[in-house]
Amino acid sequence: MCLPPHSSGGSPVGDLASPIQPREASAVASVSVIVPVYNSAPILARLVDRLEPVLRALGTSYELVLVNDGSRDDSWAAIGQLCRRHAWVRGIDLMRNYGQHNALLCGIRAARYATVVTIDDDLQHPPEEIPTLLAALEIGNDVVYGAPVAEQHGLLRDVASRVTKLALSQAMGAPIARQVSAFRVFRTPLRDAFAGYDGYHVSIDVLLTWGTTRFAAVPVHHAARADGVSSYTFRKLVAHAMNMMTGFSTFPLQIASLVGFGCTLFGVAVLAWVLGRWLIYGSVVPGFPFLASVIAIFSGAQLFALGIIGEYLARVHFRTMNRPPYAVRSISDPPASATGGSTA
């Protein structure tokens, strides 16, 4: 699946087992740009046109890997045309729609150069900001996020994004989680840390924490979507947050334990109150509503805890099924006659 990209200089990443070493600030590493594509046929040519001068100006080897995530439009045909036209563009077509992070994982594993850049296909992340992120990477960081100066989403989407980042902060265990963005650069050897991961639920940002703690974020402009509407709805973002919480963190189980402990304290307090009334006034607490309310509280707490445990059991069930994170249908490699390429 990993095909050699066109290059007239530099060297692809070979042995990735060596330790990650920070580079000098003046060095410019070779770059693999990974773009997950979903129903973006009208935008792809514009994306390539804006990426090409930026990557050429780096003066190093580069490639663009477009991963078609089961698009329902002509995205794969558009990718094929771009591969035939540009020698530095490669395409991977997945069997079905697996999700943005799954498609990214596929592209990251296919990357051939020393630095990976991930960027959305909708031009909300300006390609012209890539050198800014690379400059921050070369001063000793392993992962750099392009944190948007201002989000260009609706109210519900912004709320869902905040909920997702809150869940991500628990899963990552790193303060940088609040500034996480799909616009990121990182050193390719980091993928060694999750080379053996084959779970269906994927979070690239959590996986990156398995390989490093050297994260940074720089502010970048965030433009409006160039065409169409985002496929990330409020429901999908909340579902992604739940997947991160139950797939990469034990925080929900800790919450369930705290709720159970709180309910136990509440039960002890109620018992003390009932005994106190009996000792002082010689009567017990009257009324069925009181008893029903206490039973409802404890029953709700038990069902809440069982629901969280059930989510974890479901994750274990899916892992035992060996459901792959993605499957490749075909690849599109640029022909020898294609124009363009990297420079050294």
pLDDT of residue 162: 62
CA dist 200 and 205 (Å) reads 15
pLDDT, tens digit (0-9, with 9 covering 90-100), for 210-226:
888 899 999 988 776 65
Is the CA virtual torsion 291, 293, 297, 299 positive or negative? positive
Q: CA–CA separation, 183 vs 127, rounded Å?
A: 10
* 4 band by pLDDT with thresholds 50, 70 and 90: very low
Query: Is-contact 79 332, C-beta < 8 A?
Result: yes
* Chain segment 257-273, per-residue pLDDT in tens: 777 777 777 777 777 77
In angstroms, the CA 220 to CA 129 distance is: 7
CB of 119 within 8 A of CB of 154?
no
pLDDT tens digits for range 287-323: 656 676 677 777 777 777 777 777 777 777 666 767 7
Per-residue confidence (pLDDT) for residue 306, from 0 to 100? 78
What is the average pLDDT across 52-59? 93
**Residue 70: predicted pLDDT:** 92
Do residues 36 and 104 make contact, with C-beta atoms less than 8 angstroms apart?
yes
